[in-house]
Chain A
Amino acid sequence: MQVLFKAEKDMLTVFLSGDIDHHTSKNIREAIDSELQRIMPSVLKLDFRDVHFMDSSGVGLVMGRYKTALVYGCEVYVVHMPDTVEKIMRMSGLGSLITFERD
């Protein structure tokens, strides 16, 4: 599991990769939150392109980042979800709060 960041203007993009489960989500969460705090973007993009596995811990991760971002008045986008990730994400109802984008 690796987390890479790209900041441009007031948008922060987070490139997630590998497996997202309860074990890995702790480090991912901490990495994203410290970067959010440092940059205070108005748009946060979570890019799932290279995520090979995700369970409901990933939903908790996104939901938590949505709440944190809300404090900064920051909008959240979830982009490039593989089918397996989207299957779980759709179950959560998060789509009504967060914009899902395929490409």
Chain B
Amino acid sequence: MRLTVDSRSVNESYCRVAVAAFAAQLDPTVEEISDIKTFVSEAVTNCIVHAYLSIPGKIYITASLTEDNTLIVRIRDKGIGIADVSKAREPLFTTGGDDRSGLGFSVMECFSDKLKVVSKEGVGTTVTIYKHIRGKNGNEA
């Protein structure tokens, strides 16, 4: 699936629900659905509050499934980019001020199997999240 949305906060719930609905074909458990919604919400929110803080833009989401029942979600922006990705991924690191906890990347990591972050200042950021879906009846890996 492919989804492009404006960087407006009203779209956060739509994006996470859309990806969770796409993954529904693997019959995920309630916890897996919640994990998917959470990591999508984290990545999309980062595009809105960090990447496009001053100049709004588009958020590009793709999701696919592999033969071994892994959900791959890619969330890309053409915003300000991240100067130091490994620093940004440290728990509690934030440039977001009082309302942000600096937990977004930790949550994405913890709720998935693998997280890849590629970013270039002034160009944008691509976050790729991999999650094997066991499903209610135990899908094969």
Contacts and interface: CB of A to CB of B under 8 A. Distances in A.
Interface in B24-75: 31, 34, 37-38, 41-42, 45, 48-49
A92 B101 contact: yes
Contacts of B110: 91
Interface stretch (A35-43, A57-65, A95-103): A57-65
Given A53-B34, A84-B34, A22 B9 contact: yes
Nearest to A62: B101
Classify chain B: how many residues form its interface, as a range: 20 to 34
A17 interface: no
Q: Is chain B's binding surface mostly helix, strand, loop or mixed? A: helix
A91 B41 CA distance: 17
A53 B98 CA distance: 21
A44 B91 CA distance: 27
Interface residues of A, number: 21
A91 B37 CA distance: 17
B48 to A, nearest CB: 7
Contacts of B16: 53
Interface string B93-120: 0000011110110110010000000000
B59 to A, nearest CB: 13
Nearest to B99: A60
Given A29-B99, A91-B110, A23 B104 contact: no
A46 B100 CA distance: 18
Interface in A65-98: 67, 83-84, 88, 91-92
A26 to B, nearest CB: 8
Nearest to A68: B98
Contacts of A57: 45, 99-100
A29 to B, nearest CB: 7
B103 A88 contact: yes
B13 A19 contact: yes
B12 A22 contact: yes
Nearest to B110: A91
A63 B98 CA distance: 9
B101 A63 contact: yes
B10 interface: yes
The 7 tightest CB contacts between A and B, nearest first, are A23-B9, A56-B103, A55-B41, A59-B101, A84-B34, A60-B101, A22-B45
